[in-house]
Amino acid sequence: MGHKAFSALGLVFSLGLFLLLPQTTFGDVSYSFPEEMKRGSVVGNIAKDIGLEVGKLAARKARIDTDGNSKRYCDINLNTGDIIVTDRIDREALCGKKASCVLKQELVLENPLELHRITVHVQDINDNSPQFKKNTIRFDMSESAVKGSRYRLDEAHDADVGQNAVQGYSIEANEHFRINVVSKSGGGKYSELVLEKELDREQQQEITIVLAATDGGTPQRSGTAVIHVTVLDANDNAPMFSQTVYKASLPENSPLETVVVTVSATDADEGINGDVTYEFDHISDESNNAFSLDQTSGEVRVAGTIDYEKVSSYEMQISAKDGLGLVSYATLMIEVTDINDNAPIIQLKSLTNPIPENVSPGTEVGIINVQDRDSENNRQVHCSIQQNVPFKLVPSIKNYYSLVSTGQLDREVVSDYNITISATDEGSPPLSSSKSVQLSVADINDNPPVFEEQSYSAYVSENNKPGSTLCSVSARDPDWRQNGTVIYSLLSGEVNGAPVSSYVSVNGDTGVIHAVRSFDYEQFRSFKVQVMARDNGSPPLSSNVTVSVFISDVNDNSPQILYPAPEGNSFMTELVPKAAHGGSLVSKVIAVDADSGQNAWLSYHIVKSTDPGLFSIGVHSGEIRTQRDISESDSMKQNLIVSVKDNGQPSLSATCSMYLLISDNLAEVPELKEMSNYENNSKLTSYLIIALVSVSTFFLTFIIIILGVRFCRRRKPRLLFDGAVAIPSAYLPPNYADVDGTGTLRSTYNYDAYLTTGSRTSDFKFVTSYNDNTLPADQTLRKSPSDFADAFGDCESSAEVGTPFRSFKVQVMARDNGSPPLSSNVTVSVFISDVNDNSPQILYPAPEGNSFMTELVPKAAHGGSLVSKVIAVDADSGQNAWLSYHIVKSTDPGLFSIGVHSGEIRTQRDISESDNMKQNLIVSVKDNGQPSLSATCSMYLLISDNLAEVPELKDISYDEKNSKLTSYLIIALVSVSTFFLTFIIIILGVRFCRRRKPRLLFDGAVAIPSAYLPPNYADVDGTGTLRSTYNYDAYLTTGSRTSDFKFVTSYNDNTLPADQTLRKSPSDFVDAFGDCDGSPEVGTLSILLHQFSVSSQSYHAVLHFVFFESLSLCGSLLFMQ
């Protein structure tokens, strides 16, 4: 093509000459620009030209499209809206010799669909030099050629057009020829060589001349060829064509070797001068490839593919040359006719795939372009799609169609659509084509997970293994992938105050619910769990379901015997009067079972007894009664082994021993007297002896000094009582806290039993620990029912503890009225279920009353040491009788804790010096019924190693007037002090006052306040008979071991008769206390004080003492008012 570079000045000139402003007509835009512009060069701003905002180009998917498979030379910059050059544009290659080179392109915009036609005019630049077909042009000229003869020269070909094409020819100066330039009617120029001077072969046989062709471009370009003239002998006739212009019509797709036309030329010369040959002269490559010319016959044949869609017409120059070189020319014009050989081409210009399922009807999802390269009716196309899809084709601009939705899509019903687009032209015969479009529906998270069931139930037996499977839940989500992936989780909640996650867990993938812990039916029987199924969509959707977990009871709890204690060293003995009749209530075995239903139905059986026919036990009540009257031949000591069984499978049981003594009083049981000898080392006795000696010595010394001074001065004696006597610690409740070598606290419990001598079948017997509702010291056992209610008021709340029966059977007979009547029977079993109608009953400490219930806590107690224990029972059964203990209020909340199920009060940390000496705890006891019932009690604790460190307790000693032990101590101290005082006064009176005999005893004493007397003394009522009370105490002291035992005899044994007075002679003592002679082992000292007067207070009593062989203290000191 020659040199294509051009200077900057030339480019500026070309741009100024050819670049036109864009013109918009009916949506069309035109641009003009020179060829060979660099890639990226800006042609124009189409966004501005069509009035569209630049920011919307990307959103509307703006793009440049071309017809068919034409190459795209321009594109649009979506950021600026500029039309830029994307490829090298060679006008000569695109348009050849056409005067106007136009590129048709289209700007396509979507949403909504818009189409703007862009016409690009490519302006020619002088980038091609003129070229001759041959570098050497040969002519054979006869020497006879006349002056002025003209010889047409080969045209120089310049690919450029217009001014840039060939504009002139020139030859170098010579003497024979000149050049003549001729303009053709269709445009273009050719040259003729004109003979200016006749040739003379004899002078010059060959002439060589340089021919130059120049164009009109800037800078000017040129091409040269060499004219070689051979001088010949004369040939005066040139060939002549029959037609100057030959025209032919050729259908496209004509087969090869098809004769299109035959050209013919004749030459009048003869011989070699008359032989004509044909050849193409200056034809394009397309024509040269499509046709061939027979040099001899002049036939033009099809040599290549004839395609109307590529080239619709051909124009060729044919030359006829004789043997001596004379030439003539003719023009061949071939028109290619179109046939319907191209089926429509369906192009998918745009497609939204996948399409969301929630798009509204009428939404454009794709743009279809259909083209047919044929012409006229052959290119008219009709498009359609199948009817069974919710889409349709809507004709748009030119040959564009929009694919729009016609209905609501649902991916869960149809997830993919295979849309077949068919296009048919109007040719004959019509051609058609089809294209399949695979359109997927994108899932939208529009379906929440749905559980297969509205609710789930799981049944599990208690004591299950942690991790065991309870049940599984399943939810389905018809959405796709993560929108349909279901994850299971537990909703937050609580079960018995604990997070639900601590009881069960759910597998997030499978929905299987597992037990995290082992369940206990006795804690709860059922609970509900909320399980949530959530998908992974955005936003996530969820649904909930309730899972009810039911725990079935297993017989895993043996009966628990509350009374009597099934084991331990406490002396648990019941006294049975000899006069007891058959059916008399002797005692009662109390047991509970933590299970429920038939697993908690208890039955009582005597498995072994000393006399099998003497006692029986209620199968369901546990009441031990005499089967017959007591006889003299019955053994005094009766031992019963009682078994308590539940009704579970397998049945569980517990056993206990019940010791019975057939006697009206303990004095008749000599074996029991020896038990007191084992208590010689009791701290209580030691403290009592020390206290008695100390106080006696103090009073003795004080009285001697006072009386000595007063009698010496002959003044009236005064008996002074100054200061309070310290309460020995031995008279505090025996179950105070103690510290042994391990630093833990021991807990001891005492039990009292009372029974009157004159009781019969209506007798009442009450057994209780000293730690459990101890009988107040100022109350005695009386015979009237009202007195029992006063002394044992706490028993009234548990009147229904022994339910008469839990089930019974009824025989129902059905009889007809026939003759004879016929009948049949059926058994109806009625089972009575327990309801929570009994509040817990606190046995220790007493929830109300005047008893001074105080526990002593050593200062050296470590954390975790046992301080005391709250004991409570519940008359209900099953879980209604499960008790839990809680401290609701305390002086120091961080110092003490209580076992939820055991009731044991322990220290949480070591005792420190900063802790308050007096601690008060309020304990609440709740059962597990629905609704729950409760009871409260107060526990008083003293942090001290001994009571001497607690001066505040001196006031408490006067408030503890109900304590028998304190009363005994005061009476003993007063008795001993009075004895020594009387003795000293007599001695001093005899020595210092010989005038008369002193008298220290007076009648009519003032009554002793009941606060300072023991509560269970003998008294004389209006009938002149003595009330008979029995008091049996069993003590376990803090320093005792397993063999320690303390026994206090009945107050009825060796009690001073009410009508006896103090006598001076020993015989009088013997007469007055004759009953004591028969039992010298009872004790060594019995003191009876009849009357005496001290200061302004008077006391009367009876004093008697007898010395026996042993020096142990006789049973108890008894005072009567």
Query: DSSP letters of 770-801?
Result: TTSSPPPTT----SSHHHHHHHTGGGGGGTTS
Mean pLDDT, range 1023-1037, rounded to an integer: 39
Q: What CA–CA distance (Å, rounded) separates 710 from 718?
A: 8
Closest CA to 442 of 357, 365, 540: 357
Strand pairing partners for 123? 34
The pLDDT assigned to 535 comes to 94
User: Considering the chain, what is the average pLDDT of its residues?
Assistant: 76
Q: Which is higher by pLDDT, 438 or 792?
A: 438
User: Quick one: pLDDT at residue 19?
Assistant: 38
Whether the upstream peptide bond of residue 931 has omega within 30° of 0, thus cis, is yes
* pLDDT, tens only, 82-110: 999 998 888 888 888 788 888 888 888 88
Question: Which residue type does 950 have?
Answer: V
- CA gap 753, 572 in Å, rounded: 9
Tens of pLDDT, residue by residue over 281-310, are 878 888 899 999 999 999 999 999 999 888
* The predicted structure's pLDDT at residue 114: 86
Domains of the chain, by residue range, sit at 29-123, 131-232, 240-337, 345-442, 450-552, 560-662, 841-943
Structure tokens at 881: 């009788």
CATH superfamily assigned to domain 29-123: Cadherins (2.60.40.60)
* Confidence at 726, pLDDT banded by 50, 70, 90: very low
- Comparing 705 with 477, the larger pLDDT belongs to 477
Residue 832: per-residue pLDDT = 87
Q: What is the pLDDT of residue 714?
A: 55
Where residue 159 falls among pLDDT bands split at 50, 70, 90?
A: confident
Q: Is the predicted pLDDT of residue 1074 greater than 60, yes or no?
A: no
Q: What pLDDT score does 25 carry?
A: 34
Decide if pLDDT at 15 tops 50.
no
Looking at residue 699, what is its pLDDT?
72
> Bigger pLDDT: 720 or 567?
567
Q: Are 1058 and 1068 in contact (CB under 8 A)?
A: no
Domain covering 345-442: architecture: Sandwich (2.60)
Are the C-beta atoms of residues 1098 and 1004 closer than 8 Å to each other? yes
Tell me the residue length of the chain. 1121
Output the CATH code of domain 240-337. Answer: 2.60.40.60
Instruction: Judge whether residue 549 has pLDDT over 60.
Output: yes
Positive or negative, the CA dihedral 79, 83, 88, 94 is positive
Whole-angstrom Cα distance, residue 339 to residue 253?
8
Highest mean pLDDT (candidates 148-162, 501-515, 1032-1046): 501-515
Residue, of 615 and 563, whose pLDDT is higher: 615
User: What is the pLDDT, as a whole number, of residue 993?
Assistant: 66
User: Coil, strand, or helix at residue 1012?
Assistant: helix
pLDDT reading at 461 higher than 50: yes
Closest CA to 746 of 569, 891, 560: 569
User: What are the residues whose beta carbons fall under 8 Å from the beta carbon of 339, sequence distance 6 or more?
Assistant: 251, 252, 253, 308, 374, 378
Buried b (16+ CB within 10 A) or exposed e, 562-586: bbbebeeebbbbbbbbeebeeebbb
Q: Is the pLDDT of residue 427 over 70?
A: yes
Nearby residues of 72 by Cβ (< 8 Å), 6 or more positions away: 64, 65, 66, 86, 87, 105
SS3 letters across 140-206: EEECCCCCCCEEECCCEECCCCHHHCEEEEEECCCCCEEEEEEECCCCCEEEEEEECCCCCCCCCCE
Instruction: Return the pLDDT at 846.
Output: 67
Do the Cβ atoms of 156 and 128 come closer than 8 Å? no
At residue 518 the predicted structure's pLDDT band, cuts being 50, 70 and 90, is very high
Q: Which CATH number fits domain 560-662: 1.10.940.10, 2.30.30.40, 3.60.15.10, 2.60.40.60?
A: 2.60.40.60
Specify the CATH number of the domain 841-943: 2.60.40.60
pLDDT, residue 218, reads: 87
Residue 547: pLDDT over 90: yes
Cβ–Cβ < 8 Å for 15, 36: no
Axis-axis angle for helices 683-712, 964-992 (nearest 10): 30
CA atoms within 13 A on the CB side of 1079: 19
Element (H, E) at 457: strand 455-461
Q: Which class for 785: exposed (0-12), middle (13-18), buried (19 or more C-beta within 10 A)?
A: exposed
Taking the complete model, does pTM exceed 0.75, yes or no? no
Q: How far is CA 662 from CA 576, 579, 624, 657, 766, in A?
A: 5, 9, 14, 16, 17
Q: Out of 16-25, 417-426, 572-581, 773-782, which region has the weakest mean confidence (pLDDT)?
A: 16-25
When pLDDT is cut at 50, 70 and 90, the band that residue 333 belongs to is very high
Residue 677 has which token pair?
Answer: 């000898």
Between these two residues, 693 and 950, which has the higher pLDDT value? 693
The pLDDT assigned to 559 comes to 93
> Residue 28 in contact with residue 47, Cβ under 8 Å?
no
Higher pLDDT, 319 or 684: 319
* Contact (CB, 8 A) for 426 and 380: yes
In angstroms, rounded to a whole number, what is the distance separating the alpha carbons of residues 752 and 843? 13
For 791-812, what is the mean pLDDT?
57
- Decide if pLDDT at 640 tops 50: yes
Say what percent of the chain tops pLDDT 70. 72
CA distance 938 to 844: 10
Cβ partners under 8 Å of residue 715, min gap 6: none
Tokens of 610: 């000393």
Strands (E) in 233-344, as ranges, are: 240-241, 245-251, 259-262, 265-266, 277-281, 291-293, 299-302, 313-321, 327-337
Do domains 131-232 and 450-552 share one topology? The answer is yes
User: Average pLDDT for residues 339-344, to the nearest whole number?
Assistant: 90
Q: Is the pLDDT of residue 204 over 80?
A: yes
Q: Which two tokens stand for residue 773?
A: 């509702």
Pairing status of strand 615-617 against strand 585-588? unpaired
- At residue 603, what are phi and psi to the nearest 5 degrees? -130, 140
Query: 72-86, 380-394, 673-687, 804-818: lowest mean pLDDT where?
Result: 673-687
- In this predicted structure, what is the pLDDT of residue 569? 45
Instruction: Count CB-CB contacts under 10 A for residue 280.
Output: 18
- Say which CATH topology domain 131-232 has: Immunoglobulin-like (2.60.40)
Signed CA dihedral, 909, 912, 915, 920: sign only? positive
**Which CATH entry fits the domain spanning 450-552: 3.40.605.10, 3.90.950.10, 2.40.50.840, 2.60.40.60?**
2.60.40.60
Output the six-digit token pair for 21. Answer: 């402003």
